[in-house]
A and B are shown apart, each in its own frame.
Chain A
Amino acid sequence: MKILVTVKRVTDYERKVKIKPDGSGFETEGMNFVPNPFDEIAVEEALRLTKEHGGDVVVVSIGPNDATQQIRQALAMGAQRGILVQAGELDSDAVARVLQKLVEKENPDLVLMGKQATDDDANQAGQLLAGYLGWPQATFASKTEGLESAEEKAQKPGVKVADGWASVAREADGGIETIKVQLPAVITTDLRLNHPRFASLPGIMKAKKKPIEEIPVASLGVDITPKVRVLKYEEPPARLAGVKVADVDELVNKLKNEAKVI
């Protein structure tokens, strides 16, 4: 089977981001960039599925030329080839439309995506893509057996594929629900689907020789006019210091008259 996996270049979630003074975006100078962690899980799942069923994993990133590095990391994990759509910041809808074009070109049996990117946490592109393609979707794929299971240790996929259907476990309130979707489909991956492998040193060496196709976004003929406009970024207000109260009466008084919550 052929699987298309998306990998977004995001700011390192372990470093604190700083908002530009004019609120137009984030400071990127000196920032470290990593693959979106949910996408790494998608890459891992794709590699396990193709190991079990045969086939190829194609990695797609939409972003600046530097996103090549995140594609290379996925190639170092074991994916076969990469596609970089060269573009600036796009909203989720534009991302879905660009991916739709690529899917029509590549004809994969499955699209695997992180459920959301850790930079904007939008959680929309996968759903929108399925909508535009008219494909079934299964979001937040997880692992029934859990991450400490023998299945995980044996690097078995959590998404089970058989007879043209994929069965996907999703974490729901109070348990796990399993849904079946007919392929081709879009599946988005949640945190507890797998432990992604490391990019090994020999893998990094091999990845250098794997092809990455570069496609300028303009050449795809997709309408990328933003549907969502970001007006401004600001820091959440700093938490005010607490106050000590002498007794319960004072507390009740403050809650009633100052905080006006009772």
Chain B
Amino acid sequence: MDTKPKPSTALPVEDLLPGGGFLLESAASKEIFTAERLNEDQRAFYRTAVDFVEKEIVPRHEAIEHKEAGLIPELLRKAGELGMHMIDIPEAFGGLGLDKTTSCLVSEAVARQGSFSVSLGAHNGIGMLPLVFFGSDAQKNHWLPQFADASKIGAYALTEPGSGSDALAAKTVAKLSDDGQHWILNGSKMWITNAKIADVFTVFAKIDGKKFSAFLVPADAEGLDIGRDEPKMGILGSNTCAMSFDNVKIPKDNLLGEEGKGHKIAFNILNMGRLRLGVAVMGGAKYVLGMAARYAKERKQFGSALSDFKAIQQKLADMAVRVYMVESTSYRTTGNVDAAMSKVDKNDPDRGQRIVEAIEEYNIEASIMKVSGSEALDFVADEAVQIHGGYGYSREYGVECAYRDSRINRIFEGTNEINRMLIPGTLLKRAMKGQLNILPVAQGIQDSLHRAASPVPALGDGPMAQEIQLAELVRRATTYTLATAAMKLMTELEKEQEQLMMLADMVIDAYTIDTVVRRAVQAQAEETEKRAELHRLIASIAANTIYENAMARARRIVVELFPDEDQYTRFMELKRLHLDVTQPLVPMKRRLAEAVVEADGYPLPYVS
């Protein structure tokens, strides 16, 4: 045997924490789903997707970027032949009805080519999922088989010239025709991916200017005008256009979901989009790390390969750590969603709705994936350009394209600012509704800070003891700070966006450190010694770094919240969660960089 026996792959349902539950419990008490636990099928699907992208997409990179006519639809159809659009379609409608982990794994593989990845996601993600989750049986029977083989291509039209993040302020209007048989749409949309190749759009409009709703609009509807292909910074091969609706008449039955319930569709599709985007950007980051590692190995300066220089090694190590962090939170989250979905009865008449709720449960985690994933890709792409030096700035090298392509990910699927606001906002909303016990837990933490006994959890046994301790400290500091801010500012907190941004970063830190440490602990028993060592190294670097950042953030938030009175008391409270002794990271980073160079990139690839 080449690897240790695989544990049972799915996450045990009893280990399922509620969304945001990572703030309530200490690390390592329960199992989480990790990339090590991908089952044989998931690995096989991933291999097919990688194989397809390496052989059919990557070799056509230049043609894609130069917008060769008809190429993207052709490649989407080829992907369809392999069943790649069938993953999220229920079996009852001719799909495969697979789990979200598989859906995300395939997105990870496709991310090697940014333009194609975005076009594919616009088709079988935001283009198709509104139908999957909110369509009537008749709509699904009509459209889904055609989406599955990409004989018809989908797109999603939410944003308008005047409403981006503020999506519900849309001005596009739908009116029932006099005979009551048609909807008449008027207005305009902006930044619509796949606009020129799509056959049908999910369009959001307000019925009579009031009830925000979704409609299926065929591309050939009269009065529908698709604007020019916007010249963009990156993802040049995907097409993005404005659209205008001049008395566009569509049949009455093309209303998607219920009248006035469009916001449910819009927000839930964004949740799902963030899951997939978070994983896709991580896949992109892995790919770019590979380019950087290979270049660093080949390029010689001062008589040595770049990869022999410690400053470059440090970069490679930091890049690998960022990828690992996002990979860990991503698959933990998809594992949670899958476990929650598996609890839904197959015969439940409201199965679709229950599944939407299962995904919604983890919307905080999805926002975390989206924010930290897109920023990890930006970091990795930026360092990859830097390692390439002048060549990195040249169009001849792939990193230049990766750098440009990366930037959009912080903007679409909800800007990172909107997602950051959602993270503490949703947590506190759930706390207020009594769905999440944050406030009592925070009270317990605060009490412990006033007792004589040290509030720092005792150092346990085992190779990851220190990291477990750091994760627990970050959790306590985050929960404490979040509750302190909520108690101090109450309803004013939502106006204090600066604090919200920092609180979001602390929550991201808490989720990431908890996940990375748990994953590395699990990996000690599940992985070969060589890989287990890498898990330890990466988790250790990540835990130390995150701990320092999180504690600094907590202090800063306290200063901002308590400019005068009480500041000292709060400082003293926080200080009790402070641990002076952390580990030196340089030797670990050097060892990790060596592994990155040896592996020509991310040193923990999925093996089969």
Known: A29-B2, A29-B528, A30-B531. A201 touches B84 (CB 8 A): yes
Asked if B47 is an interface residue, CB under 8 A from chain A, the answer is yes
Determine which of A28, A34, A72, A198 lies in contact with B2 in the assembled complex, contact meaning CB atoms within 8 Å: A28
Query: Within the complex, which residue of B52, B529, B608 is in contact with A198, where a contact is CB–CB below 8 Å?
Result: B52
CA of A31 to CA of B528, assembled, Å: 11
The yes or no answer to A116 lying at the interface (CB within 8 A) is: no
Give CA–CA (A200, B106) in the complex, Å.
12
Which residue from chain A places its CB closest to the CB of B91 in the assembled complex? Answer: A205
B44–A30 touching, CB < 8 Å: no
Query: What string of 1s and 0s marks CB contacts (under 8 Å) between B30-59 and chain A?
Result: 000000000011001101100110010000
Residues of B within 8 A of A202 (CB): 83, 86, 96
Nearest opposing residue in chain B for A208, CB measure: B41
Chain A residues closer than 8 Å to B52, beta-carbon distance: 198
A61 lies within 8 A of chain B by Cβ: no
Apart from A198-B82, A204-B41, A204-B45, 11 more pairs, CB < 8 Å: A30-B528, A32-B608, A33-B2, A64-B1, A73-B47, A198-B51, A200-B82, A201-B84, A201-B86, A202-B83, A204-B44
Residue B321 at the chain A interface, CB threshold 8 Å: no
Residues of B within 8 A of A107 (CB): none
Total interface residues in chain A, CB < 8 Å: 25
Q: Which B residue sits closest to A28, measured CB to CB?
A: B2
- 16 A-B pairs with CB atoms under 8 Å apart are A15-B600, A29-B2, A29-B528, A30-B530, A30-B531, A31-B2, A32-B607, A32-B608, A33-B2, A64-B1, A73-B44, A198-B48, A198-B55, A200-B81, A202-B83, A204-B41
Chain B, range 179-211, C-beta contacts under 8 Å to A: none
Nearest neighbor of B43 in chain A, beta-carbon distance: A69
Q: Does A199 contact B (CB under 8 A)?
A: yes
* Cβ-based interface call for B605 (8 A): yes
Question: Shortest distance in angstroms between A48's beta carbon and chain B's nearest beta carbon?
Answer: 16
Instruction: Tell whether A76 is near chain B: CB-to-CB under 8 Å.
Output: yes
Nearest chain A CB to B104 CB, angstrom units: 14
Minimum CB–CB distance for A172 against chain B, Å: 28
Closest Cβ of chain A: how far from B533's Cβ, in Å?
11
In A9-54, the 8 Å CB interface with B consists of 15-16, 28-34
B87 interfacial by beta-carbon distance below 8 Å: yes
Residue of A72, A201, A203 contacting most chain B CB atoms (<10 Å): A201
B574-604 interface bits toward A, Cβ cutoff 8 Å, 1 = contact, 0 = none:
0000000000000000000000000010000
Give the CA-CA distance A203 to B41 in the complex, in Å.
Answer: 11
* A208 vs B2: C-alpha distance when bound (angstroms): 22
With A30-B531, A204-B41 known as contacts, the answer to whether A66 contacts B1 (CB < 8 A) is yes
The 0/1 profile, CB within 8 Å of A marked 1, for residues 518-541 of chain B is 000000000011110000000000
Task: Find chain B residues with CB under 8 A from A69 CB.
Answer: 40, 44, 608
Tell me the complex Cα distance, A200–B148, Å: 13
Q: CB-CB < 8 A to B81: which residues of A?
A: 200
Q: Determine which residue in A28, A76, A200, A203 has the highest number of CB atoms from chain B within 10 A of its CB, and name it.
A: A200
**Chain B nearest CB: distance from A247 CB in Å?**
25
Chain B: CB-nearest residue to A32: B607
A29-B530, A198-B52, A200-B83 known; A205+B607 contact, CB < 8 A? no
Complex CA–CA separation, A69 to B86 (angstroms): 23
Given A30-B528, A30-B530, verify A201-B51 contact (CB < 8 Å): no
Q: Are A72 and B44 in contact (CB under 8 A)?
A: yes
> Which residues from B are CB-within-8-Å of A33?
2, 607-608
Complex Cα–Cα for A201 and B608 (A): 17
Neighbouring B residues of A73 by C-beta, 8 Å: 44, 47
User: Interface of A with B (CB < 8 Å)?
Assistant: 15-16, 28-34, 64-66, 69, 72-73, 76, 198-205, 208
Closest CB pairs A-B (n = 10): A201-B83, A200-B82, A202-B83, A204-B44, A200-B83, A32-B607, A29-B528, A28-B2, A199-B48, A198-B82
B606 closest partner in A (C-beta): A32
* B residues less than 8 Å from A208 (CB atoms): 41
Q: Which residues of B contact A200 (CB under 8 A)?
A: 48, 81-83
In the assembly, what is the distance between CA of A183 and CA of B528, in Å?
Answer: 47
Provide the residues of chain A in CB contact with B45, threshold 8 Å: 201, 204
CB interface residues, B 6-43, toward A, < 8 Å: 40-41
B47 and A199 form a contact (CB under 8 A): yes
A198 cross-chain contacts in B, Cβ below 8 A: 48, 51-52, 55, 82
Contacts of B607 in A (CB 8 A): 30-33
Residues of chain A within 8 A (CB-CB) of B41 are 204-205, 208
Q: Which residues of A contact B83 (CB under 8 A)?
A: 200-203
Q: Which of B44, B47, B96, B531 has the most CB of A within 10 A?
A: B44
Residues of B within 8 A of A64 (CB): 1
A35 to chain B, nearest CB (A): 10
CA distance A73 to B41 in the complex (A): 10
Q: Are B44 and A76 in contact (CB under 8 A)?
A: yes
Report B-chain residues with C-beta under 8 Å of the C-beta of A65. 1
| Distance (whole angstroms) from the CB of B148 to the closest CB of chain A | 10
Cβ contacts B215-248/A at 8 Å (1 or 0 each):
0000000000000000000000000000000000
User: Nearest-CB distance from A207 to chain B (Å)?
Assistant: 8
Minimum Cβ distance to chain A for residue B215 (Å) = 31
Q: How far in angstroms is the closest Cβ of chain B from A87? A: 15
- Separation of A73 and B44 alpha carbons in the complex (Å): 8
| Distance between Cα atoms of A133 and B82 in the complex (Å) | 38
In the complex, A142→B528 CA distance in Å?
41
Across the interface, which residues of A come within 8 angstroms of B2, CB to CB? 28-31, 33, 66
CA distance A31 to B2 in the complex (A): 8
User: Are A204 and B531 neighbours in the complex by a CB distance under 8 Å?
Assistant: no
- Bound complex: CA A33 to CA B43 (Å): 12
Q: Which residue of B lies closest to A199 (CB)?
A: B48
Bound form: Cα–Cα A205–B39 in Å = 13
Q: Contacts A30-B530, A66-B2; is A201 near B82 (CB within 8 Å)?
A: yes
CB of A28, distance to nearest CB on chain B (Å): 5
Instruction: For B44, list chain A residues within 8 Å (CB).
Output: 69, 72-73, 76, 199, 204
User: A33: nearest residue on chain B (CB-CB)?
Assistant: B608
Assembly CA distance A114 to B45 (angstroms): 24
**Chain B: CB-nearest residue to A76:** B44
- Within the complex, the shortest CB–CB distance from B18 to chain A, in Å, comes to 31
- Chain B residues with CB under 8 A of A76: 44, 48
Instruction: Please name the residue on chain B nearest to A18 by beta carbon.
Output: B598
Nearest-Cβ distance from residue B534 to partner chain A, whole angstroms = 9
Q: How far is the CA of A31 from the CA of B10 in the complex (A)?
A: 24
Q: How far is the CA of A31 from the CA of B52 in the complex (A)?
A: 21
Residues of A within 8 A of B98 (CB): 201
Nearest CB in chain A to that of B81: its residue: A200
A205 and B96: CB pair below 8 A?
yes
Please report the C-alpha to C-alpha distance between residue A73 and residue B528 in the assembled complex, in whole angstroms: 24
Bound CA–CA A100/B108 (angstroms): 43
CA–CA, A203 to B87, complex, Å? 13
Least distance between B304 CB and chain A CB atoms (Å): 13
CB distance from B43 to the nearest CB of A (A): 8
CA distance A73 to B40 in the complex (A): 11
Closest-CB distance, A67 to chain B (whole angstroms): 11
Of listed A28, A29, A33, A64, residue having the most chain B CB within 10 A: A29
Q: How distant is the Cα of A30 from the Cα of B606 in the complex, in angstroms? A: 9
